[in-house]
Chain A
């Protein structure tokens, strides 16, 4: 039995992108992933993944499948859809395919995290990398989220427990508050809790911002008065971290939440300092936002059909996919939001990504590739837009990047099957 150890592996199980994982590999399989949380352990699994290439239900060569993908893109109207679990190097090449094909380009962000991104485009944002929160934050406010559930190491690595340069005692030097909205509750460790009905949330954010700006509001309900008092406490802190979940939650968030949180965090930078920390899911989603932005000027929902990028945020992938003739999914098919994958039947679909051959929707072409950070090395972004070098820990099927480059070459050659 051969055992290899990979230190400082980057786990992309969630957007925390913990890079202290020690992966032990035995006989080509992941034997252990030390320091990984339950989400990370599930994400790593044993590292096995299928390695099939299928065209219209039959095994095919990669070369044949690549030509089919090129032809499919040429037979648009097409969409290139960035699903999770691919490196940013691969995302960059995939964006180029959409550009050359005059296709739509989108990612999971348009149907998951768009509210926060759009609020940021309207108003900007006051934020920080996670290490600033670790090193400075003496007052943490969790807005309708308990990170333990979907981001299990957020509190232990970044926000609460570790000692920081300005918070040498770690958790003992920080105040934790929770704003519970309906059933969406913050961490049990919160010393202060404000409970809001969902219908009160937008008003509470407005009251808190007004309070921070120095206004005194009379006649508030008890819940809103509690929110105002929390805002007063926040202004007395040295460095506030306002934490929310930017991904879809079990309870739909108020449509004004994102704007309200951005505005509150910005206002707090008058009397004190504040960073809004937006929790994002795994698989290098933030990397897709970044690469799409630097190549097109927009973070998602891009239309290349006019020969140059146009922004269509009002038409996310779930709305656009049913109007497409063909769709190329790049990334993990299982990571596509349900509202998008429900529109795929009836389209001609190709999938290049991990477990493409097991996609939960019909695909004309499926090319299994490796998972970024497990079978494929490359850049992956943490939820705070910090780029990390995700290592390969076990060997796997063909690299997504290599397959996409082959598709590019096939397109340049006038490619089609």
Chain B
């Protein structure tokens, strides 16, 4: 029976856009965890005739395994109490499954089970403080079923700022390379460049990419350029992953476009773009600027984005962007966590609910959809909710319905508060409906390509055998919420809609080469200012071999 080394998925409508396959009925053959061209007759099979077959989903940006996530979990006992998650009934011999709790920030085992239950088999935690990377790897050890990695937070670190101020671009690059390896990370994440340091230093924030940190010449522009160049020069599989300045502020599209223009011609990924596409002016009103920003993105093939869609309902805002969370706390009155993390970054958490009767929440919802619907090239626009910031990853199926079904959008729009939607392309009517192939691009093929994961996001020979099979259903959200079969690394983990196996995932990380001489200087910095010994800083024994770097 399935679960052996071989498996044939028979006769499904295959959506494999990376290989130019758009809904053709064919078999997908699996052997030893990889896609193969064919299998001998009699190989174990599942019948997927009449169903939809796609590669396993790839989440390019979520927050599910970090010290910050764990602080959020600790903050939310009421959510966890309301969503107890019993251990799934795995097949005999598959080892005991674990119980947990859900809510917007589920526990680790439950996170793995729920990702696989959605047909997602690869995921990246998008914001890990280097100092707590050890914690992330421990959480990932307890997150089964997804091949996973993390992006390490750089850009508000004291050492980097010193290098920028001194014009030491080369040393900055070696430092970044060392840091990636030392933390077992996959990519460089920039959050509010310079702004978190400003928050910690009493300057509160930086609101313009040319505003310098007090007493220095270091600007967001310099940070962005330094790190973008470093990542590209190092030939990292994924470029810098940027959460820009002024997240969530009215009028922030000016900053967003300035940031993109500063990096024009250089490969860069702009994350949860929805939160950075507002027109209007601080204190004077809000509007959508999605069309303007997406026009720029459409014209710049070197740039990619994920959307960070807001979904109506509960969320937990959770970010290294401490000053943003302070503002949200001050305006919402909800409970609030702030953690300043020495020499590196910060953390802020505020639980939040996006209400359809709230004008700003409706605007955010509309801006996200506009970005999707105005994008010319789905390969550079990834589906995300910035889980759990815009909503849980469990809301992806509902989001897919909004993309594929205009009537669902219109129905939702009728229930929402239209006060700030004047000039919104969505309110004016966007007829586009995503096809299944486009959904396959924005949820797996595109993100895999942008992440440089050559074996993910497609079903060509040699690819990782991560496959999701959906039974067709007129209710699109239900179809994507309950795959009939999921294969992870060649193992049939979801059968007839039930999770039956929970193997551990692989760790995805890089270890770029660098000039070891930089360590002498980094060590001197540690000795002067850190409270953790340099020799105790690096994460040891990150499982698995690093992903290859370079062309």
Contacts and interface: CB of A to CB of B under 8 A. Distances in A.
Interface of A: 7-8, 10, 19-20, 88-89, 92, 96, 99-100, 117, 120-132, 134-136, 157-158, 163-166, 238-239, 266, 269-270, 272-273, 275, 289-291, 293-299, 304, 306-311, 313, 379, 385-389, 412
B80 A96 contact: no
Contact of B536 (A10, A125, A297, A308): A10
B348 to A, nearest CB: 10
Contact of B107 (A132, A158, A297, A412): A297
A92 B138 contact: yes
Contacts of A124: 75, 329, 335-338, 349-350
A196 B11 CA distance: 78
A298 B99 CA distance: 13
B22 interface: no
The 7 closest A-B pairs by CB, nearest first: A131-B342, A297-B80, A308-B84, A297-B101, A128-B340, A124-B335, A131-B531
Main secondary structure of the interface of A (DSSP, over half): mixed
A291 B107 CA distance: 10
A310 B81 contact: yes
A239 B531 contact: no
Contact of A239 (B77, B79, B202, B533): B202
B267 interface: no
A385 B532 CA distance: 13
A363 B479 CA distance: 54
29 contacts: A8-B535, A96-B96, A99-B98, A124-B335, A129-B339, A129-B342, A131-B342, A132-B341, A132-B342, A134-B342, A135-B342, A163-B528, A165-B158, A273-B199, A273-B202, A275-B340, A290-B135, A294-B108, A296-B80, A296-B101, A297-B103, A297-B107, A298-B74, A298-B101, A308-B84, A379-B138, A386-B131, A387-B134, A387-B135
Contacts of B343: 131, 135, 165
B87 A379 contact: no
B63 interface: no
Contact of A166 (B86, B101, B201): B201
A130 B87 CA distance: 38
A304 B67 CA distance: 24
B101 A304 contact: no
Contacts of B86: 307-308
Interface centre among A89, A163, A308 (most CB of B within 10 A): A308
Contacts of A295: 98, 100, 107-109, 142
B266 interface: no
B495 interface: no
Interface in B383-412: none
Given A308-B99, A387-B132, A389-B540, 10 more contacts: A131-B342, A135-B158, A291-B138, A294-B73, A295-B108, A307-B86, A307-B87, A308-B85, A308-B100, A385-B71
Interface in B307-347: 326, 329-330, 335-343
Contacts of B341: 128-129, 132
Given A96-B98, A124-B335, A127-B339, A20 B74 contact: no
Interface of B: 67, 69-71, 73-77, 79-81, 84-87, 95-96, 98-101, 103, 106-109, 131-132, 134-135, 138-139, 141-142, 158, 199-202, 326, 329-330, 335-343, 349-350, 528-533, 535-536, 540
A124 B530 CA distance: 26
A272 B535 CA distance: 34
B134 A164 contact: no
Contacts of B340: 127-129, 132, 136, 273, 275
Contact of A128 (B81, B100, B141, B342): B342
Nearest to A391: B536
A273 B142 CA distance: 35
B335 A304 contact: no
A368 B320 CA distance: 42
Contact of A100 (B96, B142, B330, B342): B96
A225 B175 CA distance: 51
A8 B67 CA distance: 23
A164 B536 contact: no
A297 B131 CA distance: 23
Contacts of B335: 122-124
Contacts of A136: 200-201, 340
Given A131-B342, A388-B532, A412 B96 contact: yes
Contacts of A388: 134, 532, 536
Nearest to B81: A311
A283 to B, nearest CB: 18
B70 A126 contact: no
B98 A310 contact: no
A145 B77 CA distance: 30
Contacts of A132: 200, 340-342
A131 B530 contact: yes
B339 A128 contact: yes
Nearest to B105: A297
Contact of B142 (A7, A294, A306): A294
Nearest to B111: A294
A99 B533 contact: no
Contacts of A99: 87, 98-99
A157 B76 CA distance: 33
A273 B196 CA distance: 13
A35 B99 CA distance: 43
B100 A309 contact: yes
Contacts of B87: 99, 307-308
A83 to B, nearest CB: 20
Contacts of B77: 121, 297-298, 311, 313
A158 B86 CA distance: 43
B96 A389 contact: no
Contacts of B329: 124, 266
A346 B100 CA distance: 31
Contacts of A8: 533, 535-536
Nearest to B541: A389
Nearest to B335: A124
A129 B84 contact: no
B114 to A, nearest CB: 13
B158 A379 contact: no
A379 B142 contact: no
B6 to A, nearest CB: 28
Nearest to B66: A294
A124 B336 CA distance: 5
Nearest to A381: B135
A31 B70 CA distance: 39
Contacts of B81: 310-311
B200 A273 contact: yes
B134 to A, nearest CB: 4
Contacts of A10: 536
Nearest to B69: A294
Given A157-B531, A386-B131, A389-B134, A296 B100 contact: yes
